[in-house]
């Protein structure tokens, strides 16, 4: 009987084993949670550290890019002043401008500490100035209509350009357009009624397309005042368009003569063509230029910029900046 009672009060061996197993599992579970928590914390720390390094690298990159862009811009400014110096020095040698002068020599890719610069100066009076239409000269209109026809554009588009430039609200027929036409467009705007600022402004004028503007750039420019075309620098194609009465032989004679010795005055050209009784007008042609375009491309570090600047030279003075832009 005693043995029976003793056995009854004693814990069951299976129960003890189960209790120990449960306790061991609980300890293992807590240890697993601790390990997972530690791993998550470590992953969080790594993620935060990686994010900080990434942001720091981005900041450094932005700083480097800003530094490169700033240095490139300063070199662009330097190229403009360098061009002004060349044009000022050129003016001391006389008032005649031609393509064999120092300003017409292109600067090849020239290395400097940390970068490369290249550039050139272009005589803007080797082109026809579209703002000559401000003079309300029938000759300018006739020439431009002939030029537009030669490049495959509607010649009456010149009337739309005249209306865009002139200060009045009277429509030039046919194909002219004033503010009433432009205000009826999906995105309304008014006619400028002032001279063009740049060739890109033509895209807002009725009848002008990207294709026609690209073709016009070969012969035309936009300057803030009416200007003659420099016969020493103009292309044979433009001279042929401006003087349609010239034969191919006469045109070749002009080009050969100026290559041999640049014209000193317009009278020399007229004398060359006296047999054809062709006389050039001083208002339409010249042998000198006042407007020049400076174009530079600067690469510094990771930055590459393109600088364009329009310079005006009055007499022998230091050319002044009309406008500049960076791309």
How do the domains of the chain map onto residue ranges? 2-56
CA distance 164 to 197: 12
CA distance 246 to 287: 19
pTM, two decimals, is: 0.80
The pLDDT tens digits of the residues spanning 155-172 come to 999 999 999 999 999 999
- Closest C-alpha to 291, from 226, 219, 241, 216: 226
Average pLDDT value for the chain: 86
What the block records as the tokens of 72 is: 């490139």
Does residue 270 contact residue 239 with C-beta atoms inside 8 Å? Answer: no
Position 199 confidence tier, pLDDT thresholds 50, 70, 90 = very high
Position 276 confidence tier, pLDDT thresholds 50, 70, 90 = confident
Instruction: Name the residue with higher pLDDT: 68 or 281.
Output: 281
- Closest C-alpha to 304, from 63, 58, 59, 71: 71
Give the single-character DSSP code of 171.
P
The pLDDT tens digits of the residues spanning 45-75 come to 777 777 777 666 676 666 666 667 788 888 8
């Amino acid at each position: 009987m005693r043995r029976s009672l003793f056995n009854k009060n004693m814990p069951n061996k299976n129960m003890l084993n189960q209790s120990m197993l449960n306790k061991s599992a609980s300890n293992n579970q807590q240890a697993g949670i601790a390990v997972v928590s530690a791993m998550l914390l470590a992953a969080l720390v790594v993620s935060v550290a990686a994010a900080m390094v990434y942001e720091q690298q981005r900041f450094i990159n932005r700083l480097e890019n800003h530094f490169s862009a700033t240095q490139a811009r300063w070199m662009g400014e330097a190229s403009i002043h360098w061009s002004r110096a060349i044009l000022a020095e050129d003016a001391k040698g006389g008032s005649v401008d031609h393509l064999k002068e120092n300003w017409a020599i292109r600067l090849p890719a020239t290395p400097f500490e940390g970068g490369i610069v290249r550039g050139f100066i272009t005589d803007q009076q080797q082109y026809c100035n579209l703002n000559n239409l401000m003079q309300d000269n029938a000759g300018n209109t006739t020439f431009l209509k002939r030029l537009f026809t030669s490049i495959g554009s509607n010649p009456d588009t010149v009337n739309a350009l005249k209306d865009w430039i002139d200060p009045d609200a009277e429509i030039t027929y046919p194909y002219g357009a004033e503010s009433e036409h432009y205000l009826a467009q999906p995105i309304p705007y008014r006619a400028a009624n002032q001279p063009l600022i740049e060739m890109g402004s033509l895209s807002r004028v009725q009848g002008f397309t990207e294709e026609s503007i690209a073709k016009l750039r070969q012969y035309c420019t936009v300057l803030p005042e009416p200007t003659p075309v420099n016969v020493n620098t103009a292309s044979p194609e433009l001279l042929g368009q401006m003087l349609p009465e010239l034969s191919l032989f006469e045109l070749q004679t002009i080009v050969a003569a100026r290559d041999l010795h640049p014209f000193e005055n317009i009278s020399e050209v007229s004398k060359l063509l006296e047999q054809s009784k062709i006389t050039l007008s001083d208002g339409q042609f010249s042998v000198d230029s006042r407007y020049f375009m400076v174009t530079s491309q600067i690469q510094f570090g990771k930055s590459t910029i393109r600088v364009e600047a329009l310079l005006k030279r009055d007499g022998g003075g230091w050319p002044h900046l009309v406008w500049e832009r960076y791309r």
